[in-house]
Structure 1
C-alpha cells in the first residue's frame, strides 16, 4: 500500500489547521482532519459555471470565491470569452502557494491565464466592494450554507450577505453556491433575497453534491 505524503501545512485565519496530502497520485486538502477537497472528485465544482450561465457574453466578469484546487476557476476560464475576466478570491495564502507548487497542472494552471485576477482576501470584502461588477459569482468556499467550515463564511448565507451578493451582480446576473449536502431551505433564502432560485444534484466520482443557483430578479 502506498504511503500518504503530507506535503504542506497551514493555519487558517480562524485558527483551524489546513493540510495538503498526496496518496497514489490523488491530492487532498484537509481542514481540521476533514477531507475538504479531493482531486479525483471535482465534477460538481466544474458544473457550477454552466448551471449559472447559459452562454458567455462579451467582457463578462466572473467572481470565484475560493481557489481550492483550481477546478472552479478553470471551468469559469473555459466559459468566458477572450475579453472576459475571472476574479479569484482566496483567503489563505498557503492555498495559492500550493496551487503554484503542486496543484496547478490538475486544472490546467488557471492562475497562469491572463484573464485571471487573483485577490488574496476574504471573498466577503470583494463582494462588498464590487457593487454591479460581476455577471456571475461562484461560491465554493466551504461545505455550503448548512455547515460553513469557517465562521466568516456564515455571513455569505445571511440576508445581509445575500443582499450584498445581489448588489454585486449586474442586472440578470447569477450566483451559484456549492454544497456538500442538500439544503432545500437555502432556496427559500435565495428567493427572499430577490433571486429566482433552483437547485441541482450533481454526481462526480460516485459522490453527489448540490449546486444552488440564484438569478438576480
Structure 2
C-alpha cells in the first residue's frame, strides 16, 4: 500500500496531535495517529446538514456549524440556506481552517469563500456563549460519539451544561443535529431531559447508501427552560460548556 504523505501537523488545545495526510486522491486527518475523518467517506456529514436544516426559515436563517471538518457539512448547509442567511462556523484549530483554504478547499467547492459564512476560530462553547448566539439550526460534528472521544475536552458538549447552552442558543422550535458513529439511547434520554424533542436517524457513511451506519441525533428545542434564556431574552453574562 502506498504510504501516507504528511501535509501538515497541528495540536488541539488539550494536547491532541492532529496530522493532515494524503494518499492518492484521499485526504485524511488523524488524531493521535487514529483516523478522525477522511475525504472518501462524507455521506453522513452531508446528511447532518440536510436533516438539521430541512425546516430553517426561508428568510434570514441563522445556522451554526460546530466543527469545520473537511467542509462537507458547511457546503450542504450553504446550499440549503436562503440568500440572506448566515452560517457561523466554529472551528477550534486554526490549522484546520488553513487546510480548508488550501488542499481541502476544492472538495466541497471552497465553502469558506461564500459571503454568507462567518468564521469563528475558537471553541464552539465560546460561540454558544456569545450574546448574539441565536440560531435556527445548530449542526455539531465534534467527535466520534457521546461516549467515545478523540479529543478529551469534547466530552463536555454532550453533558447537561453543554446541552443547556445549546438549548439556550436555539430559537424556540430550532433544531440541533449531532453526528455520531453509533446509536446511544442514554444520550437521547439526556437530550430529552435538557428540553428537546428527540429522534435519531441512521444514515450511511458513504454516498449512494453505502459504507458504515452512522447516527444523526435530531433534537428540537421546546420552550425556554426554567431559569434559562431563549431568543432575545439573554442574561448579561454566561459561560457555556461544550466542545469542538
- The TM-score bracket by the shorter chain reads over 0.9
**Counterpart-to-counterpart distance in 2, 1:74 and 1:161:** 26
Counterpart residue number, 1:61: 62
Aligned residues: 217
**Counterpart-to-counterpart distance in 2, 1:72 and 1:138:** 8
**Counterpart-to-counterpart distance in 2, 1:4 and 1:147:** 25
2:176/2:220 contact within 8 Å kept: yes
Q: Is 1:85 matched with 2:86?
A: yes
Counterpart residue number, 1:21: 21
Structure 1: 5+ residue stretches without partners: none
Counterpart residue number, 2:212: 207
How far apart are 1:3 and its partner, in Å? 3.4
Q: Is 1:39 matched with 2:31?
A: no
How far apart are 1:132 and its partner, in Å? 5.8
**Counterpart-to-counterpart distance in 1, 2:52 and 2:190:** 17
Structure 2 counterpart SS, 1:152: helix
2:49/2:74 contact within 8 Å kept: no
**Counterpart-to-counterpart distance in 2, 1:130 and 1:153:** 22
TM-score (norm 1): 0.96
Structure 2 counterpart SS, 1:102: coil
Structure 2: 5+ residue stretches without partners: 223-244
**Counterpart-to-counterpart distance in 2, 1:165 and 1:137:** 8
Counterpart residue number, 1:143: 144
How far apart are 1:2 and its partner, in Å? 3.4
Structure 2 counterpart SS, 1:13: coil
Q: Which moved more, 1:124-133 or 1:61-70?
A: 124-133
How far apart are 1:184 and its partner, in Å? 1.7
Counterpart residue number, 2:135: 134
2:163/2:194 contact within 8 Å kept: yes
Q: Is 1:196 matched with 2:197?
A: yes
1:131/1:167 contact within 8 Å kept: no
1:41/1:207 contact within 8 Å kept: no
Q: Which moved more, 1:135-144 or 1:151-160?
A: 151-160
